A = this chain, B = another copy of it.
Amino acid sequence: MQRLGPWFQRAWAALALQLLRAPRAPCTGATLLFRRVQGGLVVQPPVREFAEARLKTQLELDKEKPNFVIKTPKGTRDLSPQQMAVREKIFNAVVSCFKRHGAKGLDTPAFELKEVLMEKYGEDSKLIYDLKDQGGELLALRYDLTVPFARYLALNKIKKMKRYHIGKVWRRESPSITQGRYREFCQCDFDIAGHFDPMIPDAECLKIIYEILSALQLGEFLIKVNDRRILDGMFAVCGVPDNKFRFISASVDKLGKMSWEDVRQEMVGKMALAPEVADCIGVYIQQHGGMALVEQLLQDPKLSQNKQALEGLGDLKLLFEYLTLFGITDKISFDLSLARGLDYYTGVIYEAVLLQTPAQQGEEPLGVGSVAAGGRYDGLVGMFDPKGHKVPCVGLSIGVERIFSIVEQRMEATKKIQVTETQVLVAAAQKNFLKERMKLIAELWDAGIKAEMLYKKNPSFLTQLHYCEETGIPLVAIIGEQELKDGVIKLRSVASREEVDIKRENIVTEIQRRISES
């Protein structure tokens, strides 16, 4: 006891007191005692045993893992009211766009049978969170929202669907939190499943990315477009051995983050590609442009010999026609270096990046990076169907976590984030008006007005005014002796400090009028 210092003695005394007063306490507060260690809070098993049978098993659990630090799990975080307020705005923009395009909502469980997730993510499968086998099914937390969607379609034999899904996904990545990567994060997906005429749904996906990024006012952006078949065709005509397609593809994807020289070095060195093969690839993947580049490659003597590449280029040509009709080609770039990591893409792929903008007054310079991505995956649903029946799909995912970071940073730099929507505080000017405050606030709530009061019998008037200023409540309804005598409520505007007496019976209407005008 001595060693643990006086705070421990106080805590112990408080617990002992609680034991005496509350017969129920031993099972809750008193089973744990605390001591401070560096960097967190450590919980120790109790120093004294209690009679109840249930407690014994709890103690056994404690013995297995006696000490622990109170924190959120590695790579995860709580989202504060400020962060939640930013998220709500962004979700609203994203969901309203998805709904504008006629998507239906869908939700799937946080975990799936482990087998459902296997063989869908290539190398990244090792990042999947498994649940402990507790004598039931082998389960794992979902890694994205795409595989559960495909599983849903196959399970319910749905051949056609346009859905959106907002939900958390989990990946056991080495978290580099400075880059905004977490082990738990949110995805906002929109997908179109069904047999349709080529490139019509694909074009709509790009239109949606364009609309959302424009609405969020994140600054200049560019949507890179490519097609898996063009990549594969290019690898084939350049002479990449079949078994190296995937590795070379991963190298190609690094162009932009790395110079061509470094990418070439990786291909020739690490992957033992013949230098002339690498150079052939280099000529292609350093090109980007619009419809003109598609036309040019359709005439390319080598590439036009490859059936897959021709199919991809033909579809891209059609896509560009549709994007012209949608009026969004100004921000679309056909980029032969875009490869995308996921295994399941089969056709067109795309990725939107923010272009670096010079930092504005008071703003940190913003990082460049992918803020939306997606593509066509025609084979995934068939993997869950007993007969392999395919349901072609195309979709997109908005990189909301990165967008959240950017918007949070901006809002912190420019203005206070309003976290509650309270419109009026019901306040007392003197003591002993709790009852009147409660009666009035109930009336306001019943009229749909967002109202708060302080949970004290007699809060000081200044404390009540400060609360409004801190939290951004614009109006105060003040009850006082004089007001009660006169049958009025004083309505105060926090910003202008103007006060007007309003007849008690008109106060609800007056507040509603002020709200509707603001």
* A residues neighboring B (CB under 8 Å): 7, 10-11, 14-15, 18, 21-25, 27-29, 31-32, 34-36, 41-43, 51-52, 54, 58, 61-62, 65, 68-74, 76-81, 83-85, 88, 99-116, 118-120, 122-123, 125, 129-134, 136-139, 141, 151-152, 154-156, 163, 168, 170, 172, 184, 192, 194, 196-197, 200-201, 203-204, 207, 211, 228, 232, 236, 242-243, 245-246, 308, 322, 325-327, 343-344, 346, 379-380, 382-388, 419-422, 434-435, 438-439, 442, 445-446, 448-452, 455-457
Contacts and interface: CB of A to CB of B under 8 A. Distances in A.
B84 A107 contact: yes
Q: Is the interface of A mostly helix, strand, loop or mixed?
A: mixed
B450 A102 contact: yes
A343 B54 CA distance: 12
A124 to B, nearest CB: 11
B72 A344 contact: no
B70 A170 contact: no
Given A58-B119, A109-B78, A170-B110, A70 B22 contact: no
Given A54-B123, A196-B455, A74 B136 contact: yes
Contact of A442 (B112, B123, B327): B327
B99 A421 contact: yes
A118 B61 CA distance: 8
A103 B14 CA distance: 32
Identical subunits present = 2
Given A34-B386, A104-B420, A111-B73, A23 B132 contact: no
Nearest to A243: B51
Nearest to A77: B109
Contact of A325 (B435, B445, B449): B435
Contacts of A151: 70
B172 A76 contact: no
A196 B457 CA distance: 9
Given A41-B386, A236-B23, A387-B7, A111 B76 contact: yes
26 contacts: A29-B379, A29-B382, A36-B386, A41-B154, A41-B384, A51-B243, A58-B119, A70-B384, A72-B108, A72-B109, A74-B136, A78-B156, A83-B107, A84-B104, A100-B450, A100-B451, A101-B451, A102-B420, A110-B170, A194-B455, A197-B456, A197-B457, A200-B456, A211-B445, A211-B446, A325-B438
